[in-house]
Every structure is written in C-alpha cells, then in structure tokens.
Structure 1
Amino acid sequence: MKQFAELFMNLDRTNKTNAKVELMKNYFLTASDEDKLWALTLFTGRRPSFKVNRTQVKEWAAEEADIPMWLFQESYHSVGDLGETISLILPRSAATDSDRSLTEWFDYLHALPAMTEGEKRTHILNAWAQLSKHETFVFNKLLMGSFRIGVSQTLVVRALAEATETDSNVIAHRIMGQWDPSQTTFEQLILDKGENDNASRPYPFFLAYPIEGDISGLGNPGDWFAEWKWDGIRSQIIYRNNELFIWTRGEELSTDKFPELHFLSSVLPNGTVLDGEIVSYFDNKPMPFNVLQTRIGRKNLSKKVLEEAPVAFIAYDILEANGIDIRDWPQSQRRAQLETIHQNVPGQSYFNLSPLIDFKEWSELHDLHPLSRQNIAEGFMIKRKSSTYQVGRKKGDWWKWKINPLSVDAVLIYAQKGSGRRAELFTDYTFAVWGEDKKLIPFAKAYSGLTDAEIGQVDYFIKRNILEKFGPVRTVKPELVFEIGFEGINESSRHKSGIAVRFPRILRWRKDKKAEEADTLESLKGILEMYK
C-alpha cells in the first residue's frame, strides 16, 4: 500500500504527461504482479463496491477524532473530499504501521460485505490505526468506491506498454472488456499474447479530432468520406461464438439494455464486430438525444418505455469480419465490407448504415453544415478513405466538424468548491436566466471553460460575496455574467426552468455585461421552439 499511495500522491502533484507516464511505468516495473493488476483495475475506472454506509463512516471518523459532527461537516465542506477529510482529522500513532500490500488491503476490504455493522466499524477503525495519512486517504477512496485519478487511459496504456515492451495498441485491446482482478492474473491479462482473450472483448475505439481551420485545408475532397455525426451512444456490437454483446464507449456491457438489437444474433455472420451509434429511432429517422435519455440508467425497461423510446443501431464501421481483425484495412474497404453485411440483413429498421454524404467540393459541405440540427446530428464526421482504424484520439484521419453550440448569457447564482487540487477553490457553478417575474431561475450547472487565472478571479469574488450557505453550496451575489454554451435543449419536468440543456459549458466571461442584461427564460424557450 505504501508504494501505491506514494504513486497516487506523486501523480496528483504533477500535470506533466511524461512525468505521469514515467511514474506509472516505474510502478509497473517494480510492484508485484498482484498489485500491478489491482492498480490497473483502478486506473481503468473499475471501482469494486464494499457496501459501506458513508454516513456511518463519517460518524465513526468523528468519534475516533473526538470532534462533534458539526465540526466534521464544516471540515468536510472546507476540504471538499470525504476520504481526504477523514485522513486529516484522524489521530496518528507513530508506533502503528502496516506492510500489507495493495492486494492484501483489497482482500481486507472484500471481507466487509459479510460483516455486521459493529464488525465493520471495528474492521475500518483497525485499518485507520495502521495506515499513514496518505495511505488512509487512498484506503478511504477504495472503501467508498470514489477512487479517481488524473490520468487518462491513453497514458496508462503507454506506461504499461513501455514497462512490458508491448505494442500500445495490443495493450489497449487486452485491458478492454470484462475482466476481474480476482479471477485472472497479470500474466494472463497482459502477457499471454492474446490467448486469454474472451469472446465479448471489444476493440479500443478510434476517436476523431475537432477540425482545425477550414475543411478545405484537408486537400482533395475525393480522398474523404463525409457523414452525419449522430447524437447517441457510441457502441460496438459483437457477435462471436454465437453470442451477442453490446459495449458502450464507456466500457459498459449493455446487451440487456437494448433488446431491439438482439435480432442481430440471428442475422450477423459469426465473428463480426461493428462500430456505430445507438440512437432513439422512429419513423425511419433518429430522434433527439433526450428521448434516449429516458431509458438510460433504468434497471427495468417497461413496455411503455420501449414504445416511447425505441432504439436502432446506425453502423459506420466494421472492425472484425469472419473472426478476422480487419482494422488495418483502409476505410474504403471496410465500408464496402460493412455494406455487404448490411445488404444481407432482412429489412429491419433497427439496423441502419450511416449514409455517406454525396459531395464533390468542400463548398457543398459548407452549405449543408448549418442543417445539422434539423437532421438530429451534431455536425459532420470526415474520414480519410485510406485510413486504418486506430486506437484512441489520433490526429489526421478522422475529423469531427461540429456545429457551433447554442448559447445564452446567464448569471452565476450558486457555487461549490471542487475537489483534489481545487478543494479550496469554488469551481462548480450554477447559472440562471431571468423569469417573467424578474427573478433568476437556475437552468444549468457548468464546471469547465475558464482559465486558471479566471477561476482564481471568480473564486475571489465568490468568497467576498456569499449571501447564504446550504451545506457545501453557497448562494452568491448575482453580478457575474457568463456566456453558457450547450449542444442541445429539451423540455424537462424535472427542472424548475422547465428546460434541460445538454453538455453546458462556459464559453466566456461577459465582463462587458451587467446582470440585468443577461438572457431570459423566454430566450431559452425561443431556442427550444427553433429546434423542436
């Protein structure tokens, strides 16, 4: 645990990409195989659950620290992270120390679900007594399933590839899909050269880069395909060994969530992997993303939900054909293979090809681009016909040309502190527009879009203009105006404003505007009417 906690803290202290890769590489070179596997589990976003009650953990920590709960809560609101708060308030004994490995601590945690409440308390207090401050912080993050770290999967893959002297594309594929650190070994997962691959394993997704400058800079239009950029759930459909698997880009196995697509197991050739978008689909055309949202996260799909939010799969690539990895084929050849597959599927509206846009000059795409929203699309995907299917976000072969975001000018009314390095800064903001009664109505939260310098200036203002406190949330004097951009807008009965916006973000700080000049709820409703 000491070695992993040190790695965690060192990664948190640096923003330099190469430094992070070197730190992880050294860990993969020196840690035990068991610990490397558990570290990889955490780095790839897998967070085991140990069924602990966070409220009880707070109470046990406050009792152990011998402080009243109100003081614990104030400390928590100031720090912004529960695991870190507990690690800071607990008393320390220089005599206590533990040499348990990361793997042994996971074994320790896995005993919790079978324990009584009293046994859990003793078990957790015993762990806190053995660990240093930094180790306790990491232990708490594992305990409560809140472990996150500021490294992308691309950097993890790179570090592991360098440590094992293995091609990074191979590593990226091996760590995809379903695997359980308690049911496999580092040797089997990483070093077996693919012999342990399971039938459900997806391929790493190829991601597009935002277009830079004018599309005419891409050269000869004849070298490129163009298609709509669909607004859905990026997914891979896998049919191997006579079993169908549906994976989302977030590495969630979602086969049961889309029963409309199960018919593909009877029409796809064995050994087929398709890449595309799951969208809500009705009357032979996509529906807005908010329709799809009504069934995301539901454990049970009722007949009503299936009728009101039917889905289809829009395929735009094929990665495996007849059990053969064809990602090295050029895009044009893969497209031809995909069209052949689609032709052999009986007339089913649930499985569609993403149509290629017929154009000969870039000016034709320029003219068509403003119509993206009317086509329930986010813009264009532009793909080089000769390109292979690569891993991750690579510049040069796949580009996305998105439409400009919708936007309104809104007033900052609530703020909350961030976490980690931003635990002392107010970085989470709620924005409002003016209602008919001249009252501000909240409509969106946004966390990104400001520079570090601007965050510092906003934080300075907030700390000097707090009106009320509601737990960690602060009501702020309504003076600062920001342009808030968003990709989509829909009606919503769950929001006070009656409107929900998709992917809100701060576009710029409108220092030139006063609060009373911000937009109104009617402005938002006007945008909504335009894109209904």
Structure 2
Amino acid sequence: MCCTGMYAFAALLDALIYTRSRNAKLKLIADYLHATPDPDRGWAMAALTGDLDLPAVKPALIRALIEARIDPILFRMSRDYVGDTAETVALLWPAPDLPADPEPLGLTDAVERLRALSRSDAPAALAAMLDRLDAEERFALLKMATGSLRIGVSARLAKTALAQAFALDVEAVEEVWHGIHAPYPTLFAWAAGTGEQPTPDNVPVFRPFMLAHPLEDLRVDLQEYAAEWKWDGIRVQIVHVAGETRLYSRTGDDVTGSFPEVASAFSTPGAVDGELLVKGAFQGGTLEEGGGAASFNALQQRLGRKQVSAKMLADYPAFVRLYDILFDGAEDLRALPWTDRRARLEAFMPRLDSERFDLSQVVEAEDFTALEAIRAGARDAAIEGMMLKRRDSPYVTGRRAGLWYKWKRDPLTADCVMMYAQRGNGRRSSWYSDYTFGCWTDDGELLPVGKAYQGITDEELKQLDRFVRNHTLNRFGPVREVEKTLVLEIAFDSIHASSRHKSGLAMRFPRIARIRTDKPAAEADRIDVLKRLVT
C-alpha cells in the first residue's frame, strides 16, 4: 500500500469493506496511521469518524456531473441496481484524455481544495479531480466528500484503532476528541510524543449525555422521582473552558457556528445540559403555554446552517432551557445526586444571560395519578412529554435502568394513502421501504403530508414492497409512483404549518402504525382534519 495520497486512503477503504473481523479492521487502520504522515492521517480519521464537512459537495452535484457525461437513464438504472451513488459514479465515470502518468492527487490537497470551494466552483473542481483518479480512488473521494462511508467502521472503532496504534488510553482520546478540530495536530503530536496530552483543562470537550429509558407501563413514586417537561427542541451541552465556548449536540457534533448568539452569551466557566429552542411570538408564557418557546418547526429553520444571517438571528432567536449542570468552573458535579445538582444549577443561573438561558421548571403533583392528568393536558407545540428523574441519581453516561425515564405524550394518528416509494439504505437497499403518503383535499386531490420508513416489521416490509412492485404507475429514477389504493395509519408526535410543502403541513416524527388493508383509500383523512391538529 502506498503510504500517501488518495491511493492509500482508497486502499484502506477497500480493505475495510471486505474485512469482517473487528481486530483485523483495527490493525488496518493502525497500520495506515503509522505509515501515513500528517495531515493526511488526520483528514482520514476525520472521514472515518464522520467529522469531515465539505459543504460545497452535495449528492445533487455528483448526480449532475455524471448525468452530463453519460445517459441519465443508464446512470439511474445502474444506481438503482448498485444501491450506492459513489460506487456507481466511480465505475461509470468516463476515462478522460490525460497523460499516461497523471500527477497523483494528495488526500490533503483534495480536502483543502474542496473545503475552500464555493458552490459555483465546485462542479469543475470536483470533475477535474475525478478525471485524475482511477475507479477505487474516485470511490474514496466521493465517499469522503459526501460524508457517508458506510464501510462497517464506527467512530468509536476508528478512535480505538488510533489509541491502540500509539499506545494511548482510548477513553482519554474520546474525552478530548470533540474539542479538537481536524486534522487533529495536537492529538497526533501527543501520539507521536512530540506534544503534551490535550486535557479538559485546556480544551472545551464534550461529555456524553445521560439518557433516559421509555417509561412504558411503569408507575413511579414522586417522593423518589422529580418530574420536568420534556421540551421539543434539540438537546445540547454548552461548555466554556480557557476562554472558549462550544455547543455540542447529543451526538457530540460541534454546532457552535449554527448558534453564535448562544455561544457568545455563555462566558461562565462550566458545562451545562439543556434543550435548544427558538423563542415564540410571545415571551414569559407559562410552562403549559410553552414558556416562550416556539415549535420544533421554527427551530428547523436554524438547524444545519453554517452561516447564520442577521435576518435569521432576528426571526428565529435561539435560547437554551437548562436541565442540568455537569461542571461549575473546574468542579465536576456529575457524581452528586440530582437534588444537589439542581440546587447548584439554580445558583448558577444568575450568572447567565437571561435572554439566552432559562431553567426548565419542576412539575409539581400530589401523586402519579395527578401527574398523569397534567401530562394528558400538555398539547403545546414545544412540549414533547415529561422526564422523570430519580432524585438521588448521579449524572452518568448513557442509559441506566431506574434513574431517568422519558414519558412522551401519546402520538396523534391519521389515515393516509401511500403515493410514492423509494428503496432504503443498508440492509433495506433491496426493498422499497421509504414511503411518501398523503391526504385528500376537499376537491378530491391527494397531497403529500409526510414520509416514513419506521414502525414496520420485516414481514410488513415484504408486504409493502410487494404492493409497490405490483402497483407501480410511473418511475422517476429510484422513486416509484404507486396506485393510490393502500391506506397507512400514520402515528406522529405533532404537526406544523409549513410553506415548503404543497399541503402546507409538516409532520414531526411520522412512523407507520398499521397497514389498513381494511379501509378504502377514499375514506382516508382529509387535509382539513390535519390542519385542525396544527400546533
């Protein structure tokens, strides 16, 4: 294996794809990291762990490039058969007229070039790179560019390989990983013995969240458990260390750049856990009214944006409703019981900007029956349910039985008609498993109201796949339009007004509850019925 460039990275990916053994995968990655210089190995680790972001390269751009070079129908049929865009394009890309030995493309050169591209410059630059590569290298470049490797290597496995390769403690690597930017020069300096170990004392690191089990049929004693509202935003952790603030999502992704007003308002050393929300049209409402928070639909306007305009900041101002405190300055509070941490959080609050941070209040009730009644009346757009937290629980990583429970409100349901189907990914790539469904207007038109792929068993998947194949009306690339005869009962958490959809509606967390072969399509729900559920 060549030790540098796109060729070496392509060879690594190819070997990992065809290797099943975990230990063998660890050795492949370790050998690559030892043989590859900086910063190539850092960018490779960013790709393996999902930390590489190349915003100018999108799947639509790649499809446009290949369809300009070969018959679009041939590409779509091939993509439908192969099940992977990068692999299909890599194999179909026509060989250009280049010198016999074109200059090899370096991995770092490719990454830095793609990171600096504007959307308008991206097509020509990416095409020029693909022209210089063979099929294996094209596959690696496209996988890396789209951030979707799917080679059987988790982020944890890649970090474990790095730790084993350089005799590091994997937990120490994991602890500081999200506080160091790719291509991780300080991390590899520590690994090579030429730099000091990065620590939480000098890096605003991410600590894994404490999570909850579903409550299901359990009833708890409110003397032992405290109740809070479960707000419908995105869970975030905010860390301020050594003069720097970072916002992390539940998966440890750095979302600081998407919410600069929140980051700039948190300048007190410490780490807190809360729900990122967007302010509603009114301020100072009660908890039952949403406490000033808008629906998740409003928050979606801000999610995933690398650059946030002044208008976006003004129209969708973000704030964080705090649940817990992990660190007060350098003091680690996670081992304290929830009651003590709650008291410390309440004492911490006056040091924060009240425009950007408030406190998720405890829901008081005489007993569990009274709490059930309170929860049943919670239909605000910003309330997703309740959290039940054992009062003596420490803040621990992941889900621990008996400590925290999430008690989501009962879902809404609607009977909808399947309109379109598309093949899934991974083990479902051979099945039509993603379904677009709609409801009727008063004029008898069927308009899409959502898309779902969850909630069905393997047997139901086979049943729906068979329906799609036997009742296809039209084909649009990988999408199949089907006869409008099958009703699906769809469960969803809430529904919101949306100008981006022809129906004017957007469902939150839709999933398939039942296949209604017993119900005629003409008796499915109407758009007006769903509009009355809008929050």
For the criterion TM > 0.5, the same-fold answer is yes
Deviations 1:384-412 (A, max 9, x none): 22222222344432221111211101111
- The CA deviation at 1:128 is 1.3
Deviates more, 1:479-488 or 1:109-118: 109-118
Does 2:520 align with 1:522?
Answer: no
CA distance in 2 between counterparts of 1:365 and 1:22 reads 50
After superposition, the CA RMSD in angstroms is 3.7
User: Which residue of 202, 210, 214 corresponds with 1:210?
Assistant: 214
- 8 A contact 2:277–2:320 mirrored in 1: yes
Q: Offset of 1:479 from its aligned partner?
A: 1.9
1:389 and 2:395 aligned: yes
Whether the 8 Å CA contact 2:43–2:111 is kept in 1: the answer is no
1:450 maps onto 2:451 in alignment = no
Report if the CA contact (8 A) 2:418-2:484 is conserved. Answer: yes
Q: CA deviation at 1:88?
A: 4.4
Please state how far the C-alpha of 1:241 moved relative to its aligned partner.
2.5
For 1:42, the equivalent position in structure 2 comes to: 47
Distance in 2 (alpha carbons) for counterparts of 1:439 and 1:56:
33
- 1:358-437 equivalence runs, <5 A: 358-374=364-380, 376-437=382-443
Identify the residue that residue 107 of structure 1 maps to in structure 2.
Answer: 108
8 Å CA contact 1:79, 1:424 repeated in 2: no
- The residue identity in structure 1 corresponding to 2:276 is I
How many angstroms does 1:106 deviate by? 2.2
Aligned counterpart, 1:201: 205
Distance 1:372 1:36, change over 3 A: farther
AA partner of residue 210 (structure 1): P
* Residue 290 (str. 1) matches residue 288 (str. 2): no
Q: Matched residue of 1:373: which SS?
A: coil
Q: In the aligned structure 1, how far is the partner of 2:276 from the partner of 2:63?
A: 41
**What's the offset of the Cα at 1:342?**
1.6
SS of residue paired to 2:273 = strand
Q: Give the AA of the match of 2:226.
A: F
Which residue of structure 1 aligns with residue 475 of structure 2?
Answer: 469
Give 3-state SS (helix, strand or coil) of 1:42's partner: helix
> Counterpart in 2 of 1:223?
224
Match of 1:179 among 153, 178, 181: 181
Relative distance call for 1:165 and 1:478 in structure 2 (3 A) is: farther
- Given that residues 294 and 309 in structure 1 are in contact (C-alpha distance below 8 angstroms), is that contact kept between their aligned partners in structure 2? yes
Partner amino acid for 1:247? Y
Corresponding residue for 2:74? 71
Deviation at 1:243, TM superposition (A): 3.5
Unaligned runs of 5+ in 1: 12-18, 93-97
- The size of the alignment, in residue pairs, is 498
CA gap 1:401/1:152 in 2 versus in 1, 3 angstroms: farther
Which range moves more in the overlay, 36-45 or 441-450? 36-45
Distance in 2 (alpha carbons) for counterparts of 1:239 and 1:332: 23
Quick check: 1:8 aligned with 2:23? no
The reply on whether 1:147 has 2:149 as its aligned counterpart is yes
**Contact 2:46–2:52, Cα closer than 8 Å, also in 1:** yes
- SS at the partner of 2:235? strand
Deviation at 1:498, TM superposition (A): 1.4
Residue 506 and residue 320 in structure 1: after superposition, are their counterparts in 2 closer, same or farther (change >3 A)? same
Aligned to 1:275: 273
Superposition deviation, residue 378 in structure 1: 0.9
Q: What CA distance in whole angstroms lies between the structure 1 residues aligned with 2:385 and 2:60?
A: 45
**Partner Cα distance (1:410, 1:190) in 2:** 59
Q: After superposing the two structures, state which structure 1 stretch, 501-510 or 71-80, moved more.
A: 71-80
Q: Which residue of 1 aligns with 2:309?
A: 301
Q: Which of residues 296, 319, 338 is equivalent to 2:326? A: 319
Structure 2 unpaired stretches of 5+: 1-8, 96-100, 285-290
Segment drifting more, 469-478 vs 306-315: 306-315
Supply the distance in 2 between the matched residues of 1:222 and 1:110 (Cα, whole angstroms). 56
Question: For residues 526 and 340 of structure 1, what CA distance do their matches in structure 2 show?
Answer: 42
TM-score (norm 2): 0.80
Give the deviation of 1:151 after TM superposition: 6.0
What is the rounded CA distance, in whole Å, between the counterparts of 1:501 and 1:59 in structure 2? 30
User: What is residue 246 of structure 2 aligned with on the other side?
Assistant: 245
1:207 deviates by 2.1
- Structure 2 partner of 1:15: none
SS in 2 for 1:364: helix
Corresponding residue SS for 1:235: strand
Q: Within 2, Cα distance between the matches of 1:213 and 1:379?
A: 15
Partner of 2:190: 188
1:259 aligns with 2:257: no
Structure 1 residues 472 and 315: CA distance shift in structure 2, 3 A = same
Q: Contact 1:406–1:485 at 8 Å: present in 2 too?
A: yes
